[in-house]
Amino acid sequence: MLDSRPRILSVGTANPPERYRQEDLLERYRVEDPRLRSLFTSSHIRTRHLYLAPAGADGAPHESQGELLKKHRNGAMEIGPQAVTKCLEPLGLTVKDIDYLCCITTTGFLAPGLTALLMKEMGFREDCSRADIVGMGCNAGLNGLNPVASWAMANPGKNALMVSIEICSAAYVFDYTMRTAIVNSLFGDGAAAVLVRASERDEAAFAPKILGFNSHIIPSAVGAMRFDWDDDAGKFSFFLDRDIPYVVGANAERPLGRLLAAHGLKRRNISHWLVHSGGKKVVDAIKYNIGISEWDVRHTHSVLRDYGNLSSGSFLFSYERLLHEGRVKRGDYGVMMTMGPGSTIETALIRW
């Protein structure tokens, strides 16, 4: 029987060249308020890769919305192509082989979007189809993978490439308030690309099949995570409600239960958990609500520790670490889980 389900054949990631410890930022921007300082130093994040502006005379970085948008574009065109190349090289593919390109970002609005810019920058074929998913937040990697997988399934043998590019340092408002410090202490810059293809020729490849997705939206928490205009700052600003980690945790069983039930599986059948590195609190809430262990979220934690929250690409950094670990066996099931504005939880089931 022809099995038309697509596989994730490769992953590649990239980050900006400059890496900062949390203490470096406090020093650079002269953050002295102990409450703000403790947000940075107790957040279970050690380092992040960021594009940081120099400090002004008062210690703070001063970037207009226009400058932040330029940073988003320039940063995306630096690390996006690196992630794509790292993803394609192991397969012996080049951008000329790509038939469908999907780019995901929340850190800046551009028209034409990142797909068009990447295609020009890297020389994709002119007949490559494309889609931009903009503004869906941390969960968007799975909102993107869902249509990418469908496209791959509808076009057997063709190469679909999904690229998440988040320049979170282009979403900075630095005003020494708790609201912005929560955000500025958490998010990092990074890009991750995956190649998805449905082909019988890949039957022997050690690459997981994408078996299905399940979504969950919590309309009552629509305002709990948002990236909206701040009139006072004259910039977009990200807001995170303090209760949202727990609300997300309490809802996590629902999409997971539906996803597993649809495939006749139990939680104990899942060997690998790829949970979005949203922050320490939300990962704890997920752990205790769906009953998975600290070990199950080891990559989630280590990605958070080394990179911060990379928004839509985080879970792909965990996926890359899982592969490098060399522990995955043929037949193993994995669950991918991302959460973000909506408020929403997205899940996917994969099998090697």
Partner 1 sequence: MYETLTFEDGGDVATIVLRRERINVRQIRELEKVCDHLEDTSAAKVVVIRGRSLGIDFADFDPKEALDIHGFNKWEKLVSRIERLPQVTLFAVDGACVGGGFQLLLACDLRVCTPDTAFSLPEVKLGFLPGMATFRLAKYVGLGHAKRLMLTGAALGAEDALRLGVVDSVGADLDATVASSLAALGPMSAVAGTLARRLLNESFHTEPEDAIGHFLAAQHRAISQAVFLDTLKKERG
Sequence-separated (6 or more) residues with CB below 8 Å from residue 240 = 182, 183, 224, 225
**Chain-centroid distance, C-alpha 231:** 28
For partner 1, the binding residue among 35, 201, 266, 330 (CB under 8 A) is: 266
Phi, psi for residue 133 in degrees, rounded to 5:
-110, 110
Q: Which residues within the stretch 50-69 sit at the binding site for partner 1 (CB under 8 A)? A: none
- In the complex, the smallest distance separating the C-beta of residue 115 from partner 1, rounded to whole angstroms, is 38
User: Which range touches partner 1 (CB under 8 A), out of 102-110, 148-156, 280-288, 312-320?
Assistant: 280-288
Q: Which residues within the stretch 188-247 sit at the binding site for partner 1 (CB under 8 A)? A: 245-246
For partner 1, the binding residue among 35, 201, 268, 330 (CB under 8 A) is: 268
User: Which range touches partner 1 (CB under 8 A), out of 30-38, 57-65, 75-83, 286-294?
Assistant: 286-294
Kindly report whether the peptide bond that precedes residue 54 is cis, defined as omega within 30 degrees of 0: no
CA atoms within 13 A of residue 243's CA, in its CB half-sphere? 8
Residue numbers annotated as active site? 138
Q: Which residues pair with 210 in a beta bridge?
A: 350
Give yes or no for residue 35 binding partner 1 (CB under 8 A).
no
For partner 1, the binding residue among 25, 284, 305, 333 (CB under 8 A) is: 284
Q: Tell me if 218 sits within 8 A of 247, measured CB to CB.
A: yes
For partner 1, the binding residue among 222, 250, 261, 262 (CB under 8 A) is: 250
Q: Tell me if 80 sits within 8 A of 113, measured CB to CB.
A: no
What is the DSSP annotation of 91-148? GT--GGG-SEEEEEESS---SS-HHHHHHHHHT--TT-EEEEEES-GGGHHHHHHHHH
- In the complex, the smallest distance separating the C-beta of residue 24 from partner 1, rounded to whole angstroms, is 21
Q: Tell me if 142 sits within 8 A of 336, measured CB to CB.
A: yes
- In the complex, the smallest distance separating the C-beta of residue 258 from partner 1, rounded to whole angstroms, is 16
- In the complex, the smallest distance separating the C-beta of residue 284 from partner 1, rounded to whole angstroms, is 4
For partner 1, the binding residue among 288, 325, 327, 329 (CB under 8 A) is: 288
User: Which range touches partner 1 (CB under 8 A), out of 109-117, 189-197, 270-278, 281-289?
Assistant: 281-289
For partner 1, the binding residue among 27, 33, 38, 42 (CB under 8 A) is: 42
Residues in binding contact with partner 1, number by CB under 8 A? 16
How far apart, in Å, are the Cα atoms of 340 and each of 28, 143, 211, 222, 226? 30, 11, 22, 10, 9
Three-class SS state of 251: helix
Give yes or no for residue 302 binding partner 1 (CB under 8 A).
no
Give yes or no for residue 262 binding partner 1 (CB under 8 A).
no
For partner 1, the binding residue among 104, 285, 304, 335 (CB under 8 A) is: 285
- In the complex, the smallest distance separating the C-beta of residue 187 from partner 1, rounded to whole angstroms, is 19
- In the complex, the smallest distance separating the C-beta of residue 269 from partner 1, rounded to whole angstroms, is 11
Go through 99-133 and write b for each residue having 16 or more CB atoms within 10 A of its CB, e for each that does not.
bbbbbbbbbbeeeebbbbbbbebbebeeebebbbb
- Quickly count: other Cβ atoms within 10 Å of residue 137's Cβ: 23
Nearest to 310 by CA among 129, 156, 106, 57: 106
- In the complex, the smallest distance separating the C-beta of residue 21 from partner 1, rounded to whole angstroms, is 17
Distance CA 43, CA 45 (A): 5
For partner 1, the binding residue among 21, 281, 305, 321 (CB under 8 A) is: 281
Residues near partner 1, by CB under 8 A: 42, 245-246, 249-250, 266, 268, 280-281, 284-285, 287-289, 291, 294
